[in-house]
Structure 1
Amino acid sequence: MNDIHSIQYLRGLAASAVVCFHINEQFGGPFAVGAAGVDLFFVISGFIMWVTTADRPANPRRFIWRRIVRIVPLYWIVTVLTALAIFLKPQFLYGHVLSPENFFGSLVFLPIVQDGVLHPVVIQGWTLCYEMMFYVIFALALFLGEKQRFAALIGVLTVMVASNLLLKGYRFTSPLMLEFAAGIVIGRLWMEDIRLRLVPALALVVGGFLLLMTIQMLDPELPRVLRWGIPATLIVAGAVFAERARPFNPVALLTFFGSASYSIYLWHVLVVVVVTGLMLRLGVPPNWQPAPIALISIALSAMLYLSIEKPLTGFLNRSRVKSMPLLAQRPSLRLPSNEAND
Structure 2
Amino acid sequence: MKIGNDITSIQYLRAIAAISVLCFHGSAAYGLNFRVGAAGVDIFFVISGFIMWVTTEGRSVGPQEFMVRRLFRIVPLYWIATAATFVMAVLKPQFFFNIDTSIGNLIGSLLFLPVMKGEAMHPIVEQGWTLSYEMFFYLIFSISLFLPELRRLWFLMVALVAVVITHYLLPLGYISVFTEPVILEFAAGVVIGRLWKQGFRLSFHAAIGLMIAGLVLLMASDLIPHVDRAVRWGIPAVLLLSGAVFAERERGAPKLAFLHFLGDASYSIYVWHVLTGVIVTALLLRAGVPHAAQPAFLVLGSLAFAIICYLFIERPILRKMRPPRPQPA
Q: TM-score range by the shorter chain?
A: over 0.9
Q: Give TM-score, length-normalised by structure 2.
A: 0.95
Query: Which residue number corresponds to residue 174 of structure 1?
Result: 180
* Segment of structure 1 superposing worse, 52-61 or 277-286: 52-61
% identity of equivalent residues: 52
Match of 2:93 among 52, 76, 90: 90
Query: Do the aligned residues in 1 keep the contact of 2:36 with 2:221 (CA within 8 Å)?
Result: no
Report if aligned partners of 2:50, 2:189 keep a CA contact under 8 Å in 1. Answer: yes
Q: Please, which runs of 5 or more residues in structure 1 have no aligned partner?
A: 323-327, 330-342
CA deviation map 1:15-67 (0-9, x unaligned): 00000000110101010100000000000000000000011223222211110
What is the match of residue 63 of structure 2?
60
Structure 2 Cα separation of the partners of residues 200 and 83 of structure 1? 47
Q: Which amino acid aligns with 1:141?
A: S
Match of 1:203 in 2: 209
Q: Could you tell me how far apart the structure 1 residues matched to 2:107 and 2:5 are?
A: 34
The DSSP-based 3-state class of the residue aligned with 2:292 is helix
Check if 1:141 corresponds to 2:138: no
Name 2:321's counterpart in structure 1.
316
Following TM superposition, by how much is the alpha carbon of 1:239 offset from its aligned partner in structure 2, in angstroms?
Answer: 0.4
Range 61-70 or range 30-39, more displaced: 61-70
C-alpha distance in 1, partners of 2:131/2:221?
A: 26
Aligned length, in residue pairs: 321
Contact 2:9–2:253 (CA<8 Å) still a contact in 1? no
Runs of 4+ in 1 over 4 A off after TM superposition: none
In angstroms, what is the RMSD of aligned CA positions?
Answer: 1.4
Counterparts of 1:182 and 1:197, CA distance in 2: 20
Cα-to-partner distance string for 1:40-95 (whole Å, 9 max, x where unaligned): 00000000000000112232222111101110001110111111111111110112
| 8 A contact 2:15–2:263 mirrored in 1 | yes
2:269 is aligned, of 264, 267, 281, to 264
Q: What secondary structure sits across from 1:34 in the alignment?
A: helix
Aligned to 2:190: 184
**Alignment partner of 2:32 out of 16, 29, 34:** 29
Q: Deviations over 1:217-265 (max 9, x none)?
A: x111111110000000000000000100111352111110001000000
Conserved 8 A contact 1:260-1:302: yes
Q: Distance in 2 between matches of 1:208 and 1:242?
A: 14
Amino acid corresponding to residue 204 of structure 1 in structure 2: L
Task: Tell whether the 8 Å contact from 2:46 to 2:237 is kept in structure 1 after alignment.
Answer: yes
Aligned residue runs from structure 1 range 231-246, under 5 A: 231-246=236-251
> What secondary structure, in the 3-state scheme, does the structure 2 residue paired with 1:289 have?
helix
**Alpha-carbon deviations, 1:153-186, whole Å to 9, x = none?**
1111111111001222523111110000010010
Match of 1:131 in 2: 134
Whether 2:278 is the aligned partner of 1:273: answer yes
Which residue number in structure 1 is paired with residue 228 of structure 2?
223
Q: Deviations over 1:125-146 (max 9, x none)?
A: 0000000111111111111100
Decide which moves more: 302-311 or 56-65.
Answer: 56-65
Kept in 2, the 8 Å contact 1:47–1:184? The answer is: yes
Give the match's secondary structure for 2:322: helix
**1:238 aligned partner, one-letter code:** G
The answer (yes or no) to whether the contact 2:45–2:134 under 8 Å persists in 1 is: yes
Q: What is the CA distance between 1:215 and its match in structure 2? A: 2.3
Match of 1:298 among 274, 291, 303: 303
**Does 257-266 or 100-109 show the bigger shift?**
100-109
The answer to whether residue 77 in structure 2 is matched with residue 74 in structure 1 is: yes
Residues 58 and 143 in structure 1, CA contact (< 8 A), matched pair in contact too = no
What CA distance in whole angstroms lies between the structure 2 residues aligned with 1:98 and 1:166?
A: 33
1:102-137 per-residue CA deviation (whole Å, 9 max, x = no partner) reads 111111111111110111111100000000111111
Q: Which amino acid aligns with 2:116?
A: V
Which 10-residue stretch deviates more, 17-26 or 283-292? 283-292
Distance 2:317 2:65 in 1: 18
Read off the aligned partner of 2:218 and give its amino acid letter.
Answer: L
Cα separation, 2, equivalents of 1:306 and 1:283: 29
Post-superposition Cα deviations, 1:187-208, rounded to whole Å, max 9, x if no partner, equal: 0111111101111101111110
Does the 8 Å CA contact 1:69/1:317 hold for their aligned counterparts?
no
Matches of 2:59 and 2:84, distance apart in 1? 39
1: CA distance between counterparts of 2:322 and 2:204?
A: 38
Asked if 2 retains the 8 angstrom alpha-carbon contact of 1:197 and 1:242, the reply is: yes
Question: Using the alignment, how far apart are the partners of 1:309 and 1:250 within structure 2?
Answer: 24
1:292, distance to aligned residue in structure 2 (A): 1.6
